[in-house]
Amino acid sequence: MHVDMDAFYASVEQFRVNPELVGLPVCVGHDPREGRGRGVVRAASYEARDYGIRSGMPVTEAYRLCPDAVFVRGDFSNYIEASDEIMGVLEEFADDERVRRASIDEAYIDVTRRALVCGGPEPLAKEIQQAIRETTKLPCSIGVAPNMAVAKIATGINKPMGITLVPQDSVAIAEFLAPLDVRVVNGIGRVTAQRLGKYGITTLGQIQRMPLTDLYPIMGVKGAKWLRNRAFGIDGRPLKRSGPRRRKSISKDRTFMEDIDTSSIAPLYGTLDDICKRIWKKLQAKSLRFRTVTVKIRYSDFSTVQRSRTLKVGTDEESVLCCVALQLYKENRLPDRWLRLIGVKVSNLLSKQGQLALSDFF
């Protein structure tokens, strides 16, 4: 199975961060009304897509299509948190916990044995969809096929909350793929699609019917063989379990409801303390120590300063984290300015058990 979350970032905003956004056209990206019109939409809810809004589109264009759209900046740590929960659910369903994380919101799972005891792949896919919805509140779509390449294509056929089953036999797989656009193949980007288009090739069925040698001048020998295999749904890659995601940092930030004066330390104490506490809880949960603390200060004009301090040894003490963060803030704030956002990040993370630097893995 290939499991892909539906409008992931936008769904996290709607179903986990701010339930008032459910049912509304939501764009994750800078708000063009705040004078930051240069960014792009990182994700659009299905309600926003109804207006023609797509991810990657400039926010000004999205605003033109739907002036009522809600623009949210988004906090990446929320997406990571949701992603970890999703992968956790998938591990419970996969044979031998064989989950291959393909991106933050996508994974392949081997359910060959599990499907046999669950009355087949379709009831199992429904059960997984429900489990993800219950645990994480988020919608997803699932493609079921004999291999990863076909499963990924199947997932895209029916979204959101879709389940697409591809039969096991090779003739049926080729028939399923034949009418589809070449761009559904993972690895065929815009450039390759354009090159194929110049030769009049737009569907996988056309590739199925071509002599392999006719593909050589377009794709090269290796590329031609690869694409022909994909067009017939042949993919011999084994589904290897991906290791646990190794964290490089943990960060949280807070945007103030109203900009606050940099000289008013008191309200900041509370906010910084709260942010540090939440980071510390995460560190505890993951059994991690930190060495570097970074404070991010964003002013009302959106100019942003980041300052870091690295400790001589790793620690997991909450008081150290709070102290360093507050110190960094006090040393680096500019007088007579207004604050829009404050954030804290810990990095240089060390596992408490082995005392092994996680950065050693990279």
Question: Alpha carbon of 223 to those of 97, 195, 216, 226, 235: distances in Å?
Answer: 33, 13, 8, 5, 14
Q: How near is the Cβ of 4 to Mg ion at its closest, in Å?
A: 4
Altogether, the residues listed in the chain come to a count of 362
The residues facing 252 across adjacent strands are 344
Q: Show contacts with Mg ion in window 71-110 (CB under 5 A).
A: 105
Q: How near is the Cβ of 153 to Mg ion at its closest, in Å?
A: 14
Catalytic residue among 91, 92, 106, 134: 106
Q: How near is the Cβ of 120 to Mg ion at its closest, in Å?
A: 25
- The smaller minimum CB distance to Mg ion, of residues 86 and 145, is found at 86
Q: How near is the Cβ of 208 to Mg ion at its closest, in Å?
A: 28
106 in catalytic set: yes
**Of 1-9, 58-66, 86-94, 180-188, which part binds Mg ion (CB under 5 A)?**
1-9
Q: Show contacts with Mg ion in window 277-306 (CB under 5 A).
A: none
- The smaller minimum CB distance to Mg ion, of residues 9 and 232, is found at 9
**Angstrom distance (rounded) from CA 351 to CA 357:** 7
- The smaller minimum CB distance to Mg ion, of residues 102 and 218, is found at 102
- The smaller minimum CB distance to Mg ion, of residues 4 and 75, is found at 4
**Of 5-13, 83-91, 235-243, 312-320, which part binds Mg ion (CB under 5 A)?**
5-13
Question: Mask 248-267, x = binds Mg ion (CB under 5 A)?
Answer: --------------------
**Angstrom distance (rounded) from CA 93 to CA 245:** 19
Q: Which of 1, 3, 5, 87 is in the footprint of Mg ion by CB under 5 A?
A: 5
- The smaller minimum CB distance to Mg ion, of residues 144 and 297, is found at 144
- The smaller minimum CB distance to Mg ion, of residues 78 and 202, is found at 78
Closest CA to 128 of 99, 169, 168: 99
> How open is the CA angle 83-86-90, to the nearest 5 degrees?
135
Q: How near is the Cβ of 1 to Mg ion at its closest, in Å?
A: 14
Measured in whole angstroms, the distance separating CA 57 from the mean position of its chain's CA atoms is: 18
**Angstrom distance (rounded) from CA 81 to CA 8:** 12
Residue with tokens 């001048």: 217
Q: How near is the Cβ of 7 to Mg ion at its closest, in Å?
A: 7
Examine residue 4 and tell whether it contacts Mg ion (CB under 5 A). Answer: yes
Bond prior to 160 in cis (omega within 30° of 0): yes
Residues near Mg ion (CB under 5 A), total: 4
Q: Which long-range contacts (CB under 8 A, 24 or more apart) does 128-136 make?
A: 128/1, 128/3, 128/89, 128/90, 128/93, 129/161, 129/163, 131/89, 131/92, 131/93, 132/3, 132/86, 132/89, 132/90, 135/85, 135/86, 135/88, 135/89, 136/16, 136/82, 136/85, 136/86, 136/89
Instruction: Supply the residues annotated as catalytic.
Output: 106
Q: Which residues bind Mg ion (CB under 5 A)?
A: 4-5, 8, 105
